[in-house]
Amino acid sequence: MGLEQILQFVITGITVGSTYALIGIGFNIIFNATEIINFAQGEFVMLGGMFTVFGMQVLRLPVPFAALLSIILVAFVGLLLNMLAIRPIRNPSPITLIIITIGASIFIRGASSLIWGKDPYPIAAFSGEDPIPFFGAVIQPQSLWVMGVVFAVVVALRQFLNRTITGKAMLASAFQPRAARLVGIDTPYMVLLSFALSGAVGAAAGIIIAPMSMVTYDMGVMMGLKGFCAAIVGGLGHPFGVVLGGLILGVMESLGAGLISSGYKDAIAFVILLLMLFFRPQGILGKGRGERV
């Protein structure tokens, strides 16, 4: 096996890992605001792809408008999840909240199978499928879209949280909810905003993944688990840790599938997750509650 093939595996791994990172960012947004691990995040990804297909095939919208419509709709689903399932519970335990998000995930997946059926839906690549040569390997144009969107989302979130009043209020609500309320910050609104933001990020992940793997009603299960693994490996709550965790998972999966067997692809991610939980449960860059951003 030559270096070109190894490079090809790494490029493929970075592409896949970028999608895991984007899904993991959605986990981070809600965790930082509420300490809830939202296991419906994978369904946000699925809905992002499904709503895009709906916009393109039923409403006949161009891809950019169908994608924008999808992001708005999934953000609204995030709002509904918070308003209808999370907010009405008084003083819930973390286990209760996790069970609620699992229940929401099952409900959304079931409703999607009734609405869209169980057939896969293809979406064409955004800018063609002609591979780009790269030192003996090739890069698919859609891979560049994936990496670019992840970079743009990370930068935009960083700027939003650190440069805007609303973003700083979200951080304050995450660090010290009681102190935030005392200074007049509407913490329930900040939690609501975090769910909407997480839904929008999940939709973006579903939109850019769709051309590489067709959209199905149950695609959110595995994608959500991989995004959760990325968040844990990199450091749950750490903005750059989740990106690092996603890239590590993606590259290790791709190398494992190429050098050993594709049958071990999913197992590799969960083995890495278990090793991380055994030896460094806070993740690679996680340093504790006080440094969450």
Backbone angles phi, psi at 176, to 5 degrees: -140, 85
- Supply the pLDDT for residue 91: 75
Q: What pLDDT score was predicted for residue 51?
A: 95
Mind listing the pLDDT tens digit of every residue in the chain (293 residues)? 678 888 999 999 999 999 999 999 989 888 887 778 888 999 999 999 999 999 999 999 999 999 999 999 999 999 999 899 888 877 777 788 888 999 999 999 999 999 999 899 988 888 888 888 888 888 889 899 999 999 999 899 888 888 899 888 888 887 787 888 888 888 888 888 999 999 999 999 999 988 888 899 999 888 899 999 999 888 887 778 888 999 999 999 999 888 888 777 788 888 888 888 888 888 888 765 544 44
Phi, psi at residue 147, to the nearest 5°? -65, -40
127: DSSP letter: T
- Spatial separation of the C-alpha atoms in residues 131 and 138, rounded to whole Å: 6
Q: Which two tokens stand for residue 66?
A: 């169908």
Residue 78 vs residues 172, 188, 224, 232: alpha-carbon distances, Å: 21, 14, 15, 22
Q: Which residues contact 199 (CB under 8 A, 6 or more apart)?
A: 26, 44, 74, 75, 76, 77, 78, 79, 81
| pLDDT value at residue 190 | 86
pTM of the model: 0.89
Confidence (pLDDT) at 288 = 56
- Tell me 137's DSSP state: E
CA pair distance 98, 35, nearest whole angstrom: 10
Q: Cα(280)–Cα(199) distance, rounded to whole angstroms?
A: 29
The number of beta carbons lying within 10 Å of the beta carbon of residue 249 is 28
CB 177 within 8 A of CB 187: yes
Report residue 38 as tokens: 């939202």
Q: Computed over its alpha carbons, how large is the radius of gyration of the chain?
A: 19
Q: pLDDT at position 273, please?
A: 83
Phi, psi (rounded to 5 degrees) for 139: -120, 125
SS3 for 215?
strand
